[in-house]
Amino acid sequence: MEVIIQPTYAQLVAVSAEIIRGALLKKPNLVLGLATGSTPIGLYEALARMHKTEGLDFSAVTTFNLDEYVGIPRSHPYSYHTFMETHFFNAVNIPAENRHIPQSTAVEHEEFCELYEAAIVNAGGIDIQVLGIGKDGHIGFNEPSSSLGSRTRIKTLTQGTLEANAPHFGGTVDAVPKMAITMGVGTIMEAKQCLLLANGESKAEAIAHAVEGPITAEVPASVLQMHPRTVVIIDEEAASQLKRVAYYKQVYANKQKLLSGGYYDKS
Tell me the catalytic residues.
67, 136, 138, 143
Which sign does the torsion angle of CA 238, 244, 246, 249 carry? Answer: negative
Contacts 24+ apart (CB under 8 A), 209-218: 209/137, 210/133, 210/137, 211/1, 211/3, 211/242, 212/242, 212/243, 212/244, 215/148, 217/144, 217/145, 217/146, 217/147, 217/148, 218/137, 218/144, 218/145
Which residue in the shown chain puts its C-beta closest to ligand PGA? Answer: 37
Stretch that binds ligand PGA, among 3-11, 35-43, 78-86, 254-262 (CB under 6 A): 35-43
Stretch that binds ligand PGA, among 10-18, 32-40, 143-151, 152-160 (CB under 6 A): 32-40
Q: Any residues with CB less than 8 A from the CB of 97 and at least 6 apart, and which?
A: none
133 forms part of the interface with ligand PGA (CB under 6 A): yes
Let me know: does 119 contact 111? Beta carbons within 8 Å. Answer: no
Q: Which of 38, 59, 86, 156 touches ligand PGA (CB under 6 A)?
A: 38
132 forms part of the interface with ligand PGA (CB under 6 A): yes
Half-sphere exposure of 23 (CA within 13 A, CB side): 20
- Residues 91-130 vs ligand PGA: string with x where CB under 6 A? ----------------------------------------
Q: How far apart are CA 80 and CA 86, in angstroms?
A: 10
Q: Which of 15, 20, 31, 39 touches ligand PGA (CB under 6 A)?
A: 39
Residue 115 or 144 with smaller CB distance to ligand PGA = 144
86 forms part of the interface with ligand PGA (CB under 6 A): no
Residue 39 or 146 with smaller CB distance to ligand PGA = 39
Residue 16 or 39 with smaller CB distance to ligand PGA = 39
For residue 239, the one-letter residue type is A
42 forms part of the interface with ligand PGA (CB under 6 A): no
First to last CA, the chain: 33
For residue 166, the one-letter residue type is A
Q: How far apart are CA 79 and CA 155, in angstroms?
A: 16
37 forms part of the interface with ligand PGA (CB under 6 A): yes
Q: Which of 134, 137, 184, 220 touches ligand PGA (CB under 6 A)?
A: 134
Other beta carbons within 10 Å of 60: 14
Residue 89 or 137 with smaller CB distance to ligand PGA = 137
Residue 37 or 186 with smaller CB distance to ligand PGA = 37
> Which stretches of the chain bind ligand PGA, using CB under 6 A?
37-39, 132-134, 138
